[in-house]
Structure 1
């Protein structure tokens, strides 16, 4: 356990001893009879002491081996139910979509919503390339990759996604009353305000050139609809919603796809034989022609590799938490309304019942004996049910077109002297690869 994390827990304990009786009383409440089993919580901190502070999903996967696919943990004073494995996650999020469909009230999220010549670090250029797609949709134009405003926006979003996975933010979500203390949660909120300030400036610019007949962007379309519904007191088209939507689309539309692509290039450097087979298929099907999204149907191996990259990379090991909208009996357990639900996507993407070699990079997971692409029902990197990722279709197109175009033009190799490609993920709300250098060699 990190020293800072231990100190924070100790400080929290001192500040909130008065909560102990409340917690102890709550655990005996009748509404938790026949509640899913789990490790015994300690007063006040619950099970926080046993969770890996940097990669909590690893602890949850281990706990599922003891307690089964539906079990409970206590995050501070709040009980949470963890869903592990494809069957449990799919059954809850799809077959019981109404009961498990509410968005969880997470304190941090609630606060946020108010050169080829040398090896290169591809993080910035990959982020910028993917980000410009969502920027074009939202704003109606693209940024130059060296634009300081654009680079600042990327840095703010990337920093927030990294800090959201920090131990201090986990502690804040369990004990929101410690928000006055310094820490990463303060940095996140400061960054969010800067992102919102940028978005407000864009609003004002859009209002000055608004034309009902020539909408240039998502923001234009939103503002036009806002004007049409200004007399409706119950309208959803108000400025706070626009700020939140744009902020969320920026975050989700920039980092996750670029992280998947970075994992893809890293894995191809690790497994050059896979890279060679992808390039051979590209040459056979496309030649020098520019890839179209429909081409994926003629490129089963490339399609399988992209799916396996997403499965192996596991960039969102714990889905955005849900909350039960009503009391529900699930898998024989009673789960009360308002219970925090944690769909453990890592356990789905590594489910041994659906993937023969879950811990390995193995594109054959998505190929049949004839070499044709096969869908896997346990492939849920975008989650499932009512709160499935809104940008799933855009992300699928981006991944195929970026990946195919890059492999058509370049071969990716480790820098000279690097003999072992490290596949250990970095720490954050998502799981990007660790910083690394890439050699992109132009193909003749």
Structure 2
């Protein structure tokens, strides 16, 4: 009996000590976290939970919530992503100050486990931290794309136009019956990128090509659904929770195998004096090492991977938004078609026609304004301590640029929810070349390297399809929704359309 009472007292005392220890440990941990926070960060919105931070408040459409918070907390505030402070910049003035006017101070990248994993932990470009290695690789890629004709009137245009002919022929096979354009767009855009990277296109039915495209799409989907692991990296060790990461590794291996095979094939047929494509230029640089120090085969593979990965999902979703809006706004579609007919007639649209097609260009820009596929861009990080207005941002802090807030700002875009391409035309009917508060490709030193290629693809895709088809909603179908879902990019809902030959 005495022994039982004594054991009970010891157990109660041990439990009390354990509870006290846990309370003091938690208080100590919170105190350490609080004390190590910078003392003059921008304010925190309400709704911050312990451990989770603002994740619950941000929900499934974080760009919309951040834009709403802007009205309450101003252009600059801080959100908690799990246990990490993230500074959010809203509005044209703040974003331009960071990305353009003081670009180098915001030109690094924060740690991001999944992005770092798929980019070889610094072997590609997008997630590489600021420094000499990044500058060398960026300069090399920019020069290579320019040489290949991405930034001019070179051979890449002809390859894209060839692909547009193949896509239009594929769409014509549907005979005006309802179809979902998603897979056809993905194959066409994947072929555009393959033409740049490997110098050749693939038939849509080619098994090797379809496996590559499918693996890339699954990887992008899993990267989007696995963002929780970026906030709480320890979850990558938890079975079930880490399924997205395991899928990324699985499908990444398939993409890597394809790329290594292409690298081997290019090496066997390399013409050092006349490089034909992106891989050729990389292999020549690998031998000469004139522009990039410490360049290896793995750098070549990961940089080619990034070219494929970065361009596929973004351009495909941008085009899906364009087609969706043309179905919804038949009057705009008719104006685009009238302009195309007047300028080119039955001739296939070319980049040389762009100056003569201002309304067509303005329509593309208006779709990108309303539904930018990367409404938050990619995360930035400060390269040193920065004074931003009245606030102090420490070196290395993550910075998000809410590009959606620029595009829907009534100060620059009256009635911003109204679809109106003429916003981008001046009084003479010409396209406004550099409109303020419009940054669909971000900007500054970490702006999209593939911007010019994407613009070429979008223009040629859009103009070719509308020249050849009138897009309509299937008879009796509900009105298409413009509410996108935020994954890795802002993705439109699945839909079917009818493409009536003109």
SS of aligned partner of 1:83: strand
Structure 2 unaligned residues grouped into runs of 5+: 1-23, 121-172
Structural mapping, 1:196-207, within 5 Å: 196-207=256-267
Q: 1:119–1:439: 8 Å Cα contact kept in structure 2? A: yes
Aligned to 1:148: 207
Please point out which of 93, 102, 109 is paired with 1:96: 102
SS of aligned partner of 1:27: helix
How far off its partner does 1:26 sit?
Answer: 2.3
The verdict on how the C-alpha distance between 1:172 and 1:21 changes in structure 2, with shifts beyond 3 A counting, is farther
How far off its partner does 1:21 sit?
Answer: 4.4
The verdict on how the C-alpha distance between 1:349 and 1:161 changes in structure 2, with shifts beyond 3 A counting, is farther
My pick for the range that moved more, 94-103 or 152-161, is 152-161
My pick for the range that moved more, 40-49 or 120-129, is 40-49
Please point out which of 292, 296, 314 is paired with 2:354: 296
2:272 paired with 1:266: no
The verdict on how the C-alpha distance between 1:129 and 1:74 changes in structure 2, with shifts beyond 3 A counting, is same
Runs of 4 or more consecutive aligned structure 1 residues displaced over 6 Å after TM superposition: 17-20
Aligned to 1:211: 271
Query: Which is greater in Rg?
Result: 2
2:413 paired with 1:407: no
CA distance in 2, matches of 1:331, 1:162: 38
Q: 2:109–2:398: 8 Å Cα contact kept in structure 1? A: no
Q: 2:480–2:495: 8 Å Cα contact kept in structure 1? A: no
2:79 paired with 1:73: yes
Aligned to 1:27: 34
Aligned to 1:420: 479
TM (normalized to structure 1)?
0.90
SS of aligned partner of 1:164: helix
The verdict on how the C-alpha distance between 1:23 and 1:196 changes in structure 2, with shifts beyond 3 A counting, is farther
Aligned to 1:184: 244
SS of aligned partner of 1:343: strand
How far off its partner does 1:194 sit?
Answer: 2.1
2:455 paired with 1:396: yes
SS of aligned partner of 2:340: helix
SS of aligned partner of 1:374: coil
Aligned to 1:37: 43
Q: Deviations over 1:271-297 (max 9, x none)?
A: 111101111111111111222213121
SS of aligned partner of 2:429: coil
2:301 paired with 1:243: yes
2:179 paired with 1:120: yes
My pick for the range that moved more, 365-374 or 128-137, is 365-374
Structural mapping, 1:157-176, within 5 Å: 157-166=216-225, 169-176=226-233
How far off its partner does 1:237 sit?
Answer: 2.3
Structural mapping, 1:307-386, within 5 Å: 307-375=365-433, 376-386=435-445
Q: 2:363–2:421: 8 Å Cα contact kept in structure 1? A: yes
TM (normalized to structure 2)?
0.80
Q: 1:270–1:421: 8 Å Cα contact kept in structure 2? A: yes
CA distance in 1, matches of 2:466, 2:214: 27
Aligned to 1:13: none
The verdict on how the C-alpha distance between 1:22 and 1:98 changes in structure 2, with shifts beyond 3 A counting, is farther
Structure 1 unaligned residues grouped into runs of 5+: 1-16
SS of aligned partner of 1:318: coil
SS of aligned partner of 1:98: helix
2:488 paired with 1:433: no
Q: Deviations over 1:412-444 (max 9, x none)?
A: 11112125122221342111211111111110x
Q: Deviations over 1:38-68 (max 9, x none)?
A: 135333222223220x222222222222211
The verdict on how the C-alpha distance between 1:139 and 1:23 changes in structure 2, with shifts beyond 3 A counting, is farther
The verdict on how the C-alpha distance between 1:107 and 1:367 changes in structure 2, with shifts beyond 3 A counting, is same
